[in-house]
Amino acid sequence: MNLEGVRIAWGVGIVGHVAATAKSANICDAYVDPLFDKEVDRRTGFHTKSILTVPVTDKDNKTLAVIQVSFSSSFCSFIFFLGSFSSSFRCSFFMFS
């Protein structure tokens, strides 16, 4: 499973929402949340149960990156989205069992 190079736009999905608002999201049931994008699970084969997503901000509360930890019944994934001037985030992906 490789998500390297995946881009997430500001305000789109959970990561984009956290980036745009600079507020954390703790989601207990991902499939119930309207911001959750099921397409990523479909492409990766990962079935997300819960998600913790937090912004990394500078001293002026500008979002520089977003960190997301996703949990399924078997795995934990750690995803780091690094912001760029193009108003999207590039993905780095790590999975642990």
CA 7 – CA 10 distance, rounded (Å): 10
pLDDT at 12 over 50: yes
- For residues 16 and 25, the answer to whether their CB atoms sit within 8 Å is no
Provide the residue range defining the domain that includes 22: 7-96
Task: Write the CATH number for 40.
Answer: 3.30.450.40
Confidence of residue 54 (pLDDT cuts 50, 70, 90): very high
Q: Say whether 50 sits in a helix, a strand or coil.
A: strand
Q: How open is the CA angle 39-5-1, to the nearest 5 degrees? A: 55
**Quick one: DSSP state of residue 45?**
-
**What mean pLDDT is predicted for residues 27-42?**
89
Is residue 22, in this structure, part of any structural domain at all? yes
Please give the tally of structural domains in the chain.
Answer: 1
Q: Tell whether 2 is covered by a domain.
A: no
**Region 63-89 average pLDDT:** 69
Q: Could you tell me if residue 1 is inside a domain? A: no
Residue 85: what pLDDT? 40
